């Protein structure tokens, strides 16, 4: 018959040639590196948010300015057309005014697009859009 004998055993390293101290030092270095990376990530996030907010404000001001330019160009085109209809100017001036009006419209559209892009960037910088389109994942 075979008998099993169980006895408690304690194993403590008496001499590990500094292995435990080295492991502790390595863990501390890894912790410090993780903290540094975390701080860098936070600083980057704050900078991205600040940049996005500044861009948004600047683009909103540009839209106001370009809308005023567009309104002025529309009025100019209207007046030049009236002058042409009365025979006071050539059709070339009408075309020139309409071209300037179209340019003003294009600039306004481009600035509005840039504003929308900056708003998306701000949303992303604030942490939005990190979930999948399928919806939130249940725990």
DSSP 77-132: HHHHHHHHHTTSS-HHHHHHHHHHHHHHHHHHHHHHHHHHHHHHHHHHHTTTT-S-
Give a yes or no: residue 2 inside a domain: no
Residue 44: which domain range? 23-125
In the predicted model, what is the mean pLDDT of residues 63-83?
98
Q: Dump the DSSP string for 55-68.
A: HHHHHHHHHHHHHH
pLDDT at residue 137 greater than cutoff 90: no
pLDDT at position 76: 98
In the predicted model, what is the mean pLDDT of residues 58-82?
97
Give a yes or no: residue 3 inside a domain: no
Element (H, E) at 14: none
**In this structure, are residues 66 and 108 in contact, taking their beta carbons and an 8 Å threshold?**
yes
Give a yes or no: residue 45 inside a domain: yes
pLDDT at residue 22 greater than cutoff 90: no
Give a yes or no: residue 73 inside a domain: yes
Query: Which is higher by pLDDT, 16 or 46?
Result: 46
Give a yes or no: residue 70 inside a domain: yes
| Predicted confidence (pLDDT) per residue in 35-44, tens digit | 999 999 999 9
pLDDT at residue 100 greater than cutoff 60: yes
Helix axes 91-125, 19-85, angle to 10 degrees: 160
Give a yes or no: residue 107 inside a domain: yes
- Short-list 84, 121, 78, CA closest to 100: 78
User: How many structural domains is the chain composed of?
Assistant: 1
pLDDT tier at 11 (50, 70, 90 boundaries)?
low
Count each helix (H run) and each strand (E run) in the chain, helices first. Answer: 2, 0
Give a yes or no: residue 80 inside a domain: yes
What is the domain-level CATH number for residue 87? 1.10.287
Give a yes or no: residue 39 inside a domain: yes
């Amino acid at each position: 018959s075979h008998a099993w004998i169980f006895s408690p055993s304690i194993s403590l390293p008496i001499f590990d040639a500094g292995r435990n101290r080295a492991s502790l030092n390595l863990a501390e270095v890894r912790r410090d590196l993780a903290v540094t990376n975390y701080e860098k990530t936070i600083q980057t996030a704050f900078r991205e948010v600040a940049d996005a907010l500044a861009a948004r404000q600047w683009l909103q001001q540009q839209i106001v300015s370009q809308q005023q330019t567009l309104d002025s160009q529309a009025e100019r085109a209207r007046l030049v057309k009236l002058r042409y209809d009365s025979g006071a100017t050539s059709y070339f001036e009408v075309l020139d005014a309409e071209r300037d009006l179209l340019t003003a419209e294009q600039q306004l559209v481009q600035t509005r697009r840039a504003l929308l892009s900056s708003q998306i960037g701000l949303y992303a910088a604030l942490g939005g859009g990190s979930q999948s389109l399928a919806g939130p994942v249940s725990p």
